[in-house]
Amino acid sequence: MKLSEKIGYGFGDMSSSMFWKLFSYFLPFFYSNVFGLSLADAGVLMLVTRIWDAVSDPMMGIIADRTKTSWGKYRPYLLFFALPFAVCGILLFTTPENGKVVWAYVTYLLMMTVYTGINVPYGSLLNVMTADSDEKSVLSSYRMFFAYGGSFIALFAWEPLCNMFDKTRIATEGAGGLEAISTNPAAWQNAMIVIASCCLVLFLLSFLLTKEHVKSESTVSVGQDLKLLLKNKPWWILIGAALASNLFNTVRGTTTAYFFADYIQQMVSLDGKWAFLVSAGIFLSIGEIANMAGVVLAVPMSRHLGKKSTYILSMAALIVLSAAFFFLPATAGGYWAMLAFQLVISVFTGVISPLVWSMYADVADYSELKDGTASTGLIFSSASMAQKFGGAFGGSAVMWLLAAFGYNTIAGAVQTETAILGLRILMSWVPALVAALSILVVWFYPLTKKKMSAVQAELATIRSAESPE
């Protein structure tokens, strides 16, 4: 496969991840501290809209599986949905004068519907670009490397963009001489216009640079497709794994903006040239760079240990690191340790991300051999569905737990000790528990490296017989 195709495929998730990380990490803060919703209302909003988003994924997978164009089954959607994707992102970060609750529901539902329309076919594209399992892992690694690169750009630039576009605010000084992130609604909208424009270009480039090389057809009815999927044991296990891994990332990421605004930036001060490091955006951006390193490690680790063992070992490391994070003090020295922990935690989450997508490609091949029909879009849509359920429950749980711990959303409010404890638990013990649950689920995953070698050899013979040219 050409390098340009691998890069082109990476551009697609680079675009998606720029939006997804902002939605996961800053949209809750936007709704509660900029838009003006209560924590309880914001939690319900995120749960309802993302559940719809998750439920709509299999619908899109079924549609994509049955699409036939000269450009292929999945690739055309990258072109058709690129502009709506960008526009809906801008609307999502727009604050109206009146009818805020209705506006929030309508724009979030619209955004998530369009996100499904472009992201499910994009994910499915992986399985028709190559038939080789190891090459799928490579392609998944390109995807996730570019995804984390896009996330780094969006997260690193977000606070400076919001502050740059806020021309009317009076700068407020935080710990270490840092300015707090703007809460001006127009500034947030303008920042999203910049990010959305980049996302539009990236999806168009992904469409232009990729090709569909493997032909597969869904030969059964929609009902039979769903029936066969529900009997697929590896699929059920991966649903649990994908949900847990995204829940881990969402809980930590969503909590970070609050953790910094009300705890770290109130307690920690670094001297001189290092003062800029005391920032949620910097903390998250460091994580994205480390994620990219983890993606690079994923291929050699999975080739040597197998995908299942690599996943379990990585999650075990996340349990230990997350639990230990709770005991790091809010001091200058403690903050340097937090940055180091963020670096190592993110390396392991970077290893896991491409593994999950590559394992879904294996499940699609296993399903095609076992059932005699290709349901690639449906299977990959379920991966996206699990990701969104994880995001929905993770984001909503953070909002509700913050409310339960007595977190105060009023600007400038001093948080109680109980609220601060809640923030620390959400950054440590809750993710550790999720990682432990993930290991329990994946322990029963049956598609080992040896098993998949046999599956793909037999599937290659069948495909060759069906397409002798």
pLDDT of res. 327: 97
Degrees, nearest 5: CA angle 417-414-22: 95
338-361 burial string, b = 16+ CB within 10 Å, else e? beebbeebbbbbbbbbbbbbbbbb
- Cα–Cα distances (Å) from 81 to 86, 113, 116, 186, in that order, read 9, 11, 10, 26
Q: pTM for the whole thing?
A: 0.73
pLDDT of res. 242: 85
The count of structural domains within the chain is 1
Domain ranges, residue 92: 3-457
pLDDT of res. 437: 94
- Cα–Cα distances (Å) from 177 to 93, 181, 262, 272, 334, in that order, read 28, 13, 15, 9, 19
CATH code at position 283: 1.20.1250.20
| 316 inside domain | yes
Residues of the chain with pLDDT under 70: 169-180, 216-222, 374-377, 383-384, 387, 391, 411, 466-469
| 143 inside domain | yes
Dihedral (Cα; 315, 317, 321, 323), 10-degree rounding: 60
| 66 inside domain | yes
| 465 inside domain | no
- Which candidate, 202, 284, 244, places its Cα nearest to that of 26? 284
| 7 inside domain | yes
| 64 inside domain | yes
Q: Where are the beta strands (DSSP E) in 253-310?
A: none
| 382 inside domain | yes
Residue 226, judged by CB atoms within 10 A of its CB (0-12, 13-18, 19+), counts as middle
Q: pLDDT for 86-133, tens place per residue?
A: 999 999 999 998 899 999 999 999 998 999 899 989 988 988 898 887
| 468 inside domain | no
